[in-house]
Amino acid sequence: VILTANYNDRQKVQFENMMEIKLGFITAPSDTVHSYKTNSDLFRITSKLGLQAFDRWYYTLSAQFWTQFFPNYKTNSNDLVSNFLSPATLKVSLGMDYKISKDKYNLSVYCGPLTYKHVSLRDDDIVNPSSFNVKPGHTSANLFGSEITANVDWKIKDNISYVTKFNYFTTYDKVIANWENTVNFHLNRYLS
């Protein structure tokens, strides 16, 4: 499920909001402890407020929050890898956004040299908190750095579209990168 609410006064201000919910389950016959596992589990809210600087460039304040819904366990074990709000990540960034909007595609490249990322773990039972950049014995981490985000939404045909999202965050000591690619086939207005 993807919900959007956007404001664009065609003059100076753009305000973009998106909520994404992704859930997918698979049976896990090789896992003797769990009969099914999640293969896609995401709850993410993204907001960007932009004031036009010039032409296609916007001064932008960006915020993003994400977590998951269901617990995730190691295979053949009850060791908890992640859970709802474990981790919960909030990222706030200030920078510039370059945008192009055409009939067949939309492009947004955001550079945020001032970025703050907060990661918290609600559960104390997480086996490896360092995989979320949280030190063992702690329940949260504060990371400062910069980010680059590129989003492309390309309408290949009337019923086929391609969406790619690339995010690169660095604390200048370590890099955290993520790249999502989605191809949508719209069968009808109810099913894709």
Torsional sign, CA 164, 110, 149, 90: negative
Tokens of 125: 């039972």
Residue 182 has pLDDT above 90, yes or no: yes
Closest CA to 150 of 109, 92, 101, 182: 109
Contact between residue 5 and residue 46 where contact means Cβ atoms under 8 Å apart: no
**What does pLDDT average to over the chain?**
93
Amino acid letter at 16? E
Q: Which pLDDT value is given to residue 37?
A: 87
Contact between residue 66 and residue 42 where contact means Cβ atoms under 8 Å apart: yes
Amino acid letter at 180? E
CA dist 159 and 184 (Å) reads: 8
pLDDT tens-digit map of 139-154: 999 999 999 999 999 9
Residue 176 has pLDDT above 90, yes or no: yes
Q: Which pLDDT value is given to residue 51?
A: 96
Q: Quote the DSSP letter at residue 126.
A: B
pLDDT tens-digit map of 20-60: 999 999 998 888 898 888 889 999 999 999 999 998 999 99
Torsional sign, CA 11, 12, 15, 16: positive
CA dist 121 and 85 (Å) reads: 6
For 106-118, what is the mean pLDDT?
A: 96
Say what percent of the chain tops pLDDT 90. 70
Q: Which pLDDT value is given to residue 11?
A: 76
For 85-107, what is the mean pLDDT?
A: 95
Q: How many CB atoms lie within 10 A of CB 101?
A: 11
Residue 9 has pLDDT above 90, yes or no: no
Residue 65: helix, strand or coil by DSSP? strand
pTM of the model: 0.88
CA dist 28 and 46 (Å) reads: 32
Q: Which pLDDT value is given to residue 169?
A: 96
Say what percent of the chain tops pLDDT 70. 100
Q: Which pLDDT value is given to residue 10?
A: 78
